[in-house]
Amino acid sequence: MKFYKLFLFSIILLLPVVFIVFSSKPMDINTEKPLTLTIWIQESLTQEELYFDKAIKRFESYNPSVNVELSFISGSDLKVSNYINTSLLNQSSPDIIITSSYNFNKLSTEGLLYNLNNYIKSYEDTYFFDNILSNGILNNNLYGVSYDVNPEVLVYRKDFLHSIDIEAPKGFNNIEDLQTYLNSINEIYASDNLEKIPFSIPTIISNGEFISSLLNTRCSNYNALLDNTLDILKDMYTRFDIDYYDYDKTGTHPFFLGKSALAIEPLSLIYSSIERDNNLKNKIGIVPIDNFDMKFSYSNNKYISVLNKSNNISVSLDFLNFFLNSSEIWQRYRYLNTPIITNTLTEQFINDKSFDNATILDYVKESFTYPISFDIYNELDNLDSIYDIKLNN
């Protein structure tokens, strides 16, 4: 018994010594610096910068060991391209880059982007529409995902078509239907010597994006049909002495000034014009396309890519995971009006029952963006920004 008492007494005496020894030793703190992920974004609007600032903070909160350095590059495509090339020569390049079509194509052609084939295959087959991914493919390899797209659409003035007793187009299943419709309007304009022009040709009509969406690429006379239709449209425009206009300057656009019946324009221009003049929403219709396999070449969109020289490929893919997960897609839709189409589309407009919302949602669901749920508005109202990471679990 005495032995146990002596042992216990010894332990008690040693406790202060042990405390002093261990308290004098520095705490084992992880002093490792956070990994730095560098992201460059070409040309952005104020609301985009606000979104990315919030998105970066969300990503860092989910990944406390990662510090994101975000830079916005302003200027023309050529200026941005020169800046990127100079940076690469100086061994200074980002891990992730978000660029225009021009610079994406340039970087992918030069072999500077990371192949995302295996990454994207990890997604469900139905998560992206095929034509979202097809735009980022070069030589069967995927180098970027387009998330902000702006295709051409055919729009018409309801008031003008009514005044010349022409029925508004219900949609075109093929190029012949469109040609027949255009020719019928041409005949009326030619015979009545109307002052208004039937068609406003846009600055990007030469790409034929809308027209191409109606063509079967497997048909033997594809090129002839495309050229013939473009000629019809150009004839409808050039027969009138109308000054050529900059499609970014809506104030000089014949269609929105009430001087033409039809126009093929980037969808963002249609929405931004309606936002400028709310009265236009009752005068403008968007032609639906019934062809589920329609394709656009997306002349005005942005791609998110990973540089193959990045030393942080794994973390870069984690950021893509974050950026492309459903919660962030909804965040961009709410704050930037993407991925629907454009930074100018608003929830208020798309919810406006005086406009043909069904047509807009048909485009959204079937042509150029991510799958949209039928319960879209409830999801937006109940949106909770949860990082529902899908890959690399």
Q: For the chain, give every domain's residue range.
A: 35-149+301-358+370-381, 152-286
Q: Using CB atoms within 10 A of its CB, is residue 133 exposed (0-12), middle (13-18) or buried (19+)? A: middle
Question: Do the two domains 35-149+301-358+370-381 and 152-286 of this chain adopt the same fold?
Answer: yes
Q: Are 312 and 381 in contact (CB under 8 A)?
A: no
Q: E strands of 175-287, at which residues? A: 197-200, 260-266, 284-286
Report helix, strand or coil for 34. Answer: coil
CATH entry, 35-149+301-358+370-381, from 1.10.3720.10, 3.40.190.10, 3.40.50.720, 3.40.50.2300: 3.40.190.10
Query: Which residues make beta-bridge pairs with 157?
Result: 284
Q: How confident is the prediction along the chain (393 residues), in pLDDT tens digits per residue?
A: 555 555 555 555 555 544 444 444 343 444 456 799 999 998 766 667 888 888 999 999 999 999 999 998 887 788 888 888 888 888 888 999 998 888 888 999 999 999 999 988 877 666 665 656 777 888 889 999 877 656 667 788 888 888 778 888 877 777 788 778 877 777 776 666 555 556 655 444 445 566 666 666 556 677 777 777 777 776 665 444 444 444 444 456 777 777 777 777 766 666 667 666 777 777 887 776 544 444 444 455 788 999 998 999 999 999 998 988 767 776 776 565 554 433 333 343 344 444 444 444 444 443 333 333 334 334 444 443 333 333 333
- Structural element, H or E, at residue 153: strand 152-157
- Structural element, H or E, at residue 35: strand 35-42
Q: How does pLDDT run across 81-133, given as a tens digit for each residue?
A: 888 888 888 888 899 999 888 888 899 999 999 999 998 887 766 666 565 67
Q: How many residues does the chain have?
A: 393
Q: Can you say whether the dihedral through the CA atoms of 129, 131, 132, 137 is positive or negative?
A: positive
Give residues with Cβ within 8 angstroms of 305, minimum separation 6: 96, 97, 98, 99, 104, 107, 108, 113, 114, 116, 136, 143, 144, 145
pTM, full prediction: 0.58
CA–CA distance, 58 with 389 (Å, rounded to integer): 13
Q: Which amino acid is at 27?
A: M
For 122, the token pair is 């990890």
For 167, the token pair is 């029925």
Tell me which CATH code domain 152-286 carries.
3.40.190.10
pLDDT of residue 62: 92
Give φ, ψ of 261 to 5 degrees.
-95, -35
For 392, which DSSP code?
A: -
